[in-house]
Structure 1
Amino acid sequence: MHPTTSMLFFLENLLNLPKVNIRNVIQEGKQAFLILSCQEEEVKCNYCGSLTDELHQTNNVLVRDLSISGQMVYLKVPRRKFYCKDCQRFFTENLEFMEARRKYTVRYEEYIYGRVNVSSVEQVGREESLSWDQVNGIYQRQCEAKKKDWQGVKHLGMDEIAKRKGHQNFVTVLGDIEKGELIEVIDSHQQDKIIEVLMEKELEVREGVEQVSVDMWGGFPKVIEKVFPNAVIVTDRFHVMRAVNEELNKIRKQTRLNVKIKGEKWLLLKNKEDLKEEELEKLELVLKQSARLRKAYEYKESFREIYEKVNEKEEGRLKFTEWLENAKSIYTDVISTIRRNLDSICNYFLSRTTNGAMEGINNRLKLIKRQAYGFMNFDNMRNRFLACFS
């Protein structure tokens, strides 16, 4: 049955395809083929901008569009090639809804890109009757078109995550701390490789970075000094506290307690002001059994108090130096770690910003890895990561 004029008019408004009309609709099972015609007889030259109506040839191409009510929609599009007398060149007419040599409309590729971000290539392929290569090709093109812009990034966070759970194969991730967005993933945790990738960024962009927040891995400062010449290195407060807490927990394990208290580890590691009255009572039962453990706990709290109360870098340096001298009778490993990173630890007091945004980014990346059931290669993983923050 040939569609009525009113039905075609309805479809044209529904699909909202500029510069074309729908001439006919052919239905075959679960597929609908829309036959299009171009509206304009005179078009603008892609090279010089002159108007021309000298049609050279027309080739009909079939393009996949968004489905309607469970029907796969294909557009039969006349691709017209014109000749421009002014610049004496041939050109193909621009159509906003599709790109040259593409088998899908722009909006359909955007749709596939969005679906993959919350699902997987395999699942989207099954639901859309597309092959893995077709879905992945669309996705990779979209990722390339949406590359992250580093312009205006002033506060970076750097961290690492394992490619796969339980493996010691890491990638380096960089985020815009102010926006809480991932902006780069590097397939290495080696200084030279990280430097090589980041040095490809424009000098103006690299010079614009003012702060880089990092954990206490020794390789990051050398990378930052080489790549971001104007950046202050800030050792993240929460990574430092984690190191103190880890040694406190180590002391707990070494202490022989006559009475075991359920949840004693978390009672020791939790901020004291966050403990309820009954938890404080349980904590006291733990601490009264060991003078060394009590001292270690008190030093942990006094270290955290420096972060909470100090506002100036030099005051922070003075307080931390005093703490190091006092706490060395109890703590060992963390003392040398803090001494080695003291200047960058004290840089926290310049702006009191943390790498907390990177923790949020990392948690999201771990979720993406679980949803993807493993990545075929690094490029797929990188694109998937970046896409979810676009």
Structure 2
Amino acid sequence: MKFPVDQILNLPEMKVLDCQEIEGMGIVITIEKSVNYSTCPSCEQITHSIHQNHWRMIHDLSWSERTVLLKINRRQFKCPKCKKVLSEKLNFVEPSKGYTKRLAAQIIQQVLNSNIHSVAERNDLSDEEVESMLKGQASLILNINLSQLKRLGIDEIALVKGQGNYLAVLVDLDTHKPIEIVKSRRMEEIREVLVSWDIQVLEQIQEVSIDLWSPYKSLVEELMPNANVTADRFHVMKQVNDELDAMRKAEKKAAMSLENKSEKSRRLEGLSKSKYSFIKNEDSLNEKQKKKLKSAQEVSPILAKMHQLKEDFRDIFEFTKYWGDSVIKLLDWMHEALSYFPKSIGTMVRWFGEIVGYFDEKTTSGTVEGINNKLKLIKRLRYGFRNFSNFRLRSLLNWHFSINSP
């Protein structure tokens, strides 16, 4: 059978010596470079003197579901000037690898939508070969440029929910891409990553958005002297929502203890399955959730008041345009809400400077939350990622890998 060899090969610098299909192997294309000379890397002398032929077999992209193997003559030349022996450069394959760069790129693209083990089985490769491609490709493209980093987000993700095993995620808030994933949120490990950055990078960072965890704040103040620390509004909002939900649970528990069966039934019916109607943004509720919210508010005036305060709090961050107006409205809200949200108000008092810092540039870690959601999806697909290093590479490649990467 004749094959469209040029179409299969698509390597203009190579010439085809032979092409055949071998049962049990696939399509084998024998090739070598078109030119019959090489340039000495030491003295830049052009040489035509072939020292020896060196044949190797490597995997390439499959063609029409057929395995393609390239039998390459990577010739060695001898320099007449400095007498050194040199091997030809083949730009489409790494010197020590048994596969082409384009095959590795395609495999990595598959890994991004699956996992190592599944991709290995699908392509008749071992898990170790796919891991090798992952690491090799990552070493080429994960030299992330931090020269333009101005706004940094720091957050964490739990690898196993409920077990306290957190990874720290560092994000460029302007490019909306993670720039590092740290094995834990321990300050020693995060500090080690940050210190490894050029001092110029740390000094050029103007703002860092964090959750309400003081060790993050201390680390930023220590290493980034020119950065303003901003408390992420979504974490502040979470404090308010958590306190509202705690009251919802308390109201439901109180209803359970009522002796009047009719009143008990009325309150429980109103409060049952009302969690998301209270904590979700009111303008995002569907009709069913709106009805549930109304019935819950009717049986619990305190929850109705707390819900209104929660919505007022969100409006301050969402719609107030000017810094001064925002701060005044926040102070007024804190005064009105003190008896309803004492825990949240306490947090706001301790973090007031960082919270109102949001009103300067309206910076949030909403980007970080979106990234964390994607990392959680990768975590669920992590079969074949047997260690943190592979998980880190797999994750960062999602944002920094292109099929056209070098």
TM-score w.r.t. length of structure 1: 0.90
Relative distance call for 1:96 and 1:274 in structure 2 (3 A) is: closer
The amino acid across from 1:378 in the alignment is F
Does 2:163 align with 1:153?
no
The amino acid across from 1:334 in the alignment is S
1:212 touches 1:224 (CA, 8 Å); kept in 2?
yes
Q: Can you list the C-alpha shifts for 1:331-353, whole angstroms capped at 9, x where unaligned?
A: 22111111111111111111113
Partner of 1:343: 353
* Equivalent of 2:223 in 222, 227, 249: 227
1:266 offset after TM fit, Å?
A: 2.9
The amino acid across from 2:206 in the alignment is E
Relative distance call for 1:140 and 1:281 in structure 2 (3 A) is: closer
* Equivalent of 1:27 in 21, 28, 39: 21
Partner of 2:404: none
Relative distance call for 1:284 and 1:110 in structure 2 (3 A) is: closer
Higher RCO structure, 1 or 2 (CA under 8 Å, sep 6+): 2
Q: Can you list the C-alpha shifts for 1:188-226, whole angstroms capped at 9, x where unaligned?
A: 111122111111011122222222222112221112222
Does 2:271 align with 1:271?
no
1:75 offset after TM fit, Å?
A: 1.1
- Cα separation, 2, equivalents of 1:57 and 1:79: 9
Q: Can you list the C-alpha shifts for 1:273-322, whole angstroms capped at 9, x where unaligned?
A: 45578866654543344443333233222222221343344443333233
2:32 touches 2:73 (CA, 8 Å); kept in 1?
yes
Q: Can you list the C-alpha shifts for 1:114-164, whole angstroms capped at 9, x where unaligned?
A: 121212211122122221111111111111212132231222221111122
Which stretch shows the higher mean deviation, 379-388 or 74-83?
A: 74-83
1:58 touches 1:81 (CA, 8 Å); kept in 2?
yes
* Equivalent of 1:125 in 114, 120, 140: 120
1:88 offset after TM fit, Å?
A: 4.5
SS at 1:179's partner residue? Answer: coil
1:195 touches 1:226 (CA, 8 Å); kept in 2?
no
1:159 touches 1:358 (CA, 8 Å); kept in 2?
yes
Matched ranges for 1:275-294 at <5 A = 283-294=293-304
TM-score w.r.t. length of structure 2: 0.87
Question: RMSD across aligned C-alpha pairs, in angstroms?
Answer: 2.3
Partner of 2:86: 91
1:19 touches 1:95 (CA, 8 Å); kept in 2?
no
Does 2:399 align with 1:389?
yes
- Cα separation, 2, equivalents of 1:265 and 1:127: 44
Identify unmatched segments of 5+ residues in structure 1: none
SS at 1:213's partner residue? Answer: strand
Identify unmatched segments of 5+ residues in structure 2: 256-262, 401-406
* Equivalent of 2:386 in 352, 368, 376: 376
How many pairs are equivalent?
384
Q: Can you list the C-alpha shifts for 1:48-90, whole angstroms capped at 9, x where unaligned?
A: 4332212222211111111112221111111112223445533
Partner of 1:334: 344
SS at 2:243's partner residue? Answer: helix
